[in-house]
Chain A
Amino acid sequence: MSVVSERLRAAAHSATLITGLAILTFWIVCALFGSAMTPFDPYADNLLSTLASPSTAHWFGTDQLGRDILSRVIMGARDILIVAPLATLLGTVLGTALGLCIGYLRGALDDVVSRVIEAIQALPLIIVALMALAAVGTSNATVVLVIGFVFTPLIARTVRAAVLIERDQDYVAAARLRGDGRLTIMFVEILPNVLPLALVEMTVRLGYAIFFVASLSFLGFGIQPPSADWGIAIAENYSLIGSYWWTVLFDAAATASLVIGVNLVTDGLKSVVDA
């Protein structure tokens, strides 16, 4: 109890964490209540004012179809904030389970799986994900699955390393000596002790996942139009960047700020957990 409150007090004093949380909260509010916040309909064309530069009416200007960019940036938070966290969660759950199994059971299974994980890590993940999406077809659901699977080995490796330390602790021997089965030992005894690490790893991965989703969307394999997604907007407009910078800049800045926000939260959490 006192430990938790001490940690919370430490968290309240961490400037990194506070800044990160502020940025993240802002985008989450946009994702949840975006439709009520936008000054214009983000999907409505207005062919009379295409590619208008930022003005008092359109703070961030308009795009090729005359859509208000501010409204689209606000709405653009929604899909990525659904897809990226879900993908990360999937990867964390699968990765933690896999890491627990290979780390506790060891033996041939661990040897084989660990080599496979190393092999996967040697590949450029974005190419793996592109090929997988090309094969199964792209939708928000398939993007979640593919990124989740791609992240699984990475998280499994981290969790495995922690499990290797835990399995040599005497409390595991004590559990074996009262006849607990392997599953009980893995999921009841060891899991709670590696969970904090898995959660920190999850927030690290969340930053990468956002970047990953944005990249896939940019390449046309991620979130699909008509979503106001930032990656799509950048893809549609990057050829115009020389003359109409506002069509790309604000979406790029939004993506960057979200990644930075998540990373700040990660760093803050780490320092609070380690303290």
Chain B
Amino acid sequence: MTPQPALKVEHLDVVYRVGRQERRVLSDLSFTIRRGESYGLVGESGCGKSTAAFAAIRYLARNGRVSGGRILVDGRDLMALSAAELRTLRTQSVSMVYQDPGRALNPTIRIGRQMTEVFEVAEGLKGKQAHERAAQMLARVQIPSPERVMANYPHELSGGMQQRVVIAMALSINPALLILDEPTTGLDATVEAEVLDLVSRLRGEFNNSILFISHSLPVIARMCDRVGVLYAGELVEEGPAASVFADPRHPYTVGLLRCVPSYGRRKSHGRLETIPGFLPAPGSITGRCVFVERCGNATERCRSEVPPRIELDGAREGDAGGRSTRCFYPERAPDLPHTAQAPAQALAAVAAVAAASAAPRAAQPLLRVRALSKTYQVAGKPFHAVNNMDFELWAGETLGLVGESGSGKSSLAKLLLGLSIPDPGGRVELGGETLAADTAARTAAQHKALQIVFQNPGSALNRSQTVRRLIGRSLRLVGLSGRARETRLLELAASVRLTARHLEEKPRQLSGGLKQRVGIARAFAGGPALVVCDEPTSALDVSVQSAILNLLVDLQAEQQVSYIFISHDLNVVHYLSDRIAVLYLGRLLEIGPSEAVFSGPHHPYTAALLSANPAAATHANRIRLQGELPSALNLPSGCVFQTRCPRKIGRICEDQEPALLDAGLRHAIRCHIPAAELTRAP
């Protein structure tokens, strides 16, 4: 007899009651996670991923209800369990790791107490024994000094450390099933890579079954044996991860995979693919395929019948569990019509800028930054957020700013914009004019020329104003009124692909992508010369992200605007940027044309960042950074990166800060190791 699967979900329906209506968020969901298997659920926000996870431990929100189907954990019907049995199940066989580790830990209790409690409840251990077990467990998740961490409160740990603690707690009971709900979404690239490494390693050690939920296709591809693609509450495609990603058989999976800027793709290669249309409201589609409105392959049959789950025989050797899709035409999926047809002229413009970027030039730069620093006082000690920054940016060019949280990316953006005041001695010049430190002291022309697109469109738009007013207020800068202003407003709205209907709506009625379009329209109202884009797509789904990136590229080609593009996603930065600057602890470590920064020679930190990218070729033998990011309150002596540098050469790194040395082709690296030597892998 084969052992019971760790989790078996059969024809699960879940509804949420909203007001007096019930909305179906999961329908007819079936999947099985066998023992020791890692199963990924992937899909965009609102697809029902988290609902599926919560249903699997019977922990739905108060207004949620399982209205049909069965959930079997270890062969036991979850819905038939009593409250006491459910509690036993949750303390003994299932654990969950949530997206935000900061919120999963109790901020007022020390880590040690929170850890020992697990052993007290689950195994009835007491005092010293529980303490020892907790320390052992923390050591197993590679926390260097467990005793010290146990004496800390959660806020004293970094995000990566917190997530390790949460994973340690989840694994303490050695669960049969471990549910990971977007466990690395809020973490930096290098930390994400470490946490994923840890999960893979622990899986080998503990042999748990894993339900891994993520919106990130590369992460799922790397972590999971099997994958299920969720769309609007339905499992549209399922199968072994390798074959689903290599040969998708549902148009949604195909679209999703095409949206992600692949490793090494550049804007000069053409536009990104998008998925047209919007995710339908939960439960609003009945009697037809859920994806029909956004599908390029849809036929009359798709509009009048619900496609059944079709078993595919394309499974490869050694795959167990088979493949299925909910599409009438799985064989046509790979031929889904492409959405990206770049106008030849836009492409030419992009290519021209890219070419100009690589060549040396004499012309005056649009932006010149000299000796820009920002020091905050934190409890009487200096905190160096931005440290003596020098760089230039030419007209029509995009400079990508890359670095982990705390590297000073956003602080730098605020200094440029005049939203915070730099230390004396720093200078920002735009078009040859020195800008006043405070935005209030800048001229209207300067306000028009320098604008920003914010990271969080929810916070960036005043929720009490309509879209018309949000954009219109920025048009006052231009000095238009009456008919001319109305015409320009409609033009602007059209340029970011907003329709007249959207103008009368308020931000709460718009989706994240639409809100971000309003933010972009606002930034472009005055015909800017330079727009700072501060992680403009990090809050958005991949299909929306690609549409926004396309829009930014189009606007740049039309208006010759320059961008400073801040992002933690290297593939996105690479796609959009002509040049890239790498920041670490407020210092510029490397700057140069994108191709040069990506192809090398690299600064050792850049090399580590690049190899942390799950989609990168170098990922297999990635460079692991040792230790924690130092605090800007207590900067390392000499080179800021020396405490974690895998290629540290000796005392010189501790004593002397290296200069930004030329590595050819306007590419500069701040390292004591000569560029020629950096090229060779360590």
Contact among B439, B450, B473, B519 for A176, CB-based, below 8 A: B439
Contact of A136 with B by CB under 8 A: no
Contact among A176, A189, A192 for B440, CB-based, below 8 A: A176
Q: Is B447 in contact with A174, judged by CB distance below 8 angstroms?
A: no
Interface members, chain A 161-204 (any B CB < 8 Å): 169-171, 173-180, 189, 192-193
Query: In the assembled complex, which residues on chain B have CB atoms less than 8 Å from the CB atom of A169?
Result: 459-460
Q: Is B508 in contact with A193, judged by CB distance below 8 angstroms?
A: no
Q: Is B464 in contact with A178, judged by CB distance below 8 angstroms?
A: no
Q: Is A170 in contact with B439, judged by CB distance below 8 angstroms?
A: no
| Interchain CA distance A173-B440 in the complex, whole Å | 11
Contact of A6 with B by CB under 8 A: yes
Q: Is A178 in contact with B419, judged by CB distance below 8 angstroms?
A: no
Contact of A3 with B by CB under 8 A: yes
Contact of B215 with A by CB under 8 A: no
Contact among B447, B456, B463, B508 for A177, CB-based, below 8 A: B447
Contact of B522 with A by CB under 8 A: yes
Chain B minimum-CB-distance residue to A193: B464
Contact of B204 with A by CB under 8 A: no
Chain B nearest CB from A7 CB (Å) reads 11
Chain A nearest CB from B46 CB (Å) reads 19
Chain A nearest CB from B403 CB (Å) reads 20
Contact of B462 with A by CB under 8 A: yes
Q: Is A171 in contact with B444, judged by CB distance below 8 angstroms?
A: no
Contact among B417, B442, B462 for A171, CB-based, below 8 A: B462
Q: Identify which of A6, A9, A176 gathers the most chain B CB atoms within 10 Å of its CB.
A: A176
Contact of B454 with A by CB under 8 A: yes
| Interchain CA distance A85-B481 in the complex, whole Å | 41
Chain A minimum-CB-distance residue to B447: A179
Contact among B444, B461, B463 for A179, CB-based, below 8 A: B444
Query: In the assembled complex, which residues on chain B have CB atoms less than 8 Å from the CB atom of A175?
Result: 462, 473
Chain B nearest CB from A189 CB (Å) reads 6
Q: Is A179 in contact with B460, judged by CB distance below 8 angstroms?
A: no
Chain B minimum-CB-distance residue to A184: B473
A3-B508, A6-B19 known; A177+B452 contact, CB < 8 A: yes
A6-B19, A170-B456, A179-B444 known; A193+B463 contact, CB < 8 A: yes
A3-B508, A179-B477 known; A174+B460 contact, CB < 8 A: yes
Contact of B253 with A by CB under 8 A: no
Query: In the assembled complex, which residues on chain B have CB atoms less than 8 Å from the CB atom of A179?
Result: 439-440, 442, 444, 447, 477
Chain B minimum-CB-distance residue to A6: B19
| Interchain CA distance A176-B460 in the complex, whole Å | 12
Contact of B451 with A by CB under 8 A: yes
Q: Identify which of A3, A179, A192 gathers the most chain B CB atoms within 10 Å of its CB.
A: A179
Q: Identify which of A169, A174, A192 gathers the most chain B CB atoms within 10 Å of its CB.
A: A174
| Interchain CA distance A201-B282 in the complex, whole Å | 37
Chain A minimum-CB-distance residue to B417: A177
Query: In the assembled complex, which residues on chain A have CB atoms less than 8 Å from the CB atom of B174?
Result: none
Query: In the assembled complex, which residues on chain B have CB atoms less than 8 Å from the CB atom of A192?
Result: 462, 464-465
B contact residues vs A (CB 8 Å cutoff)? 19, 417-419, 439-440, 442, 444, 447, 450-452, 454-456, 459-465, 473-474, 476-477, 508, 519, 522, 526
5 residue pairs A–B, Cβ–Cβ below 8 Å:
A174-B522, A176-B440, A177-B418, A179-B440, A180-B473
Which are the 8 A-B pairs with shortest beta-carbon distances?
A: A192-B464, A170-B460, A171-B462, A170-B454, A170-B459, A179-B447, A169-B459, A178-B477
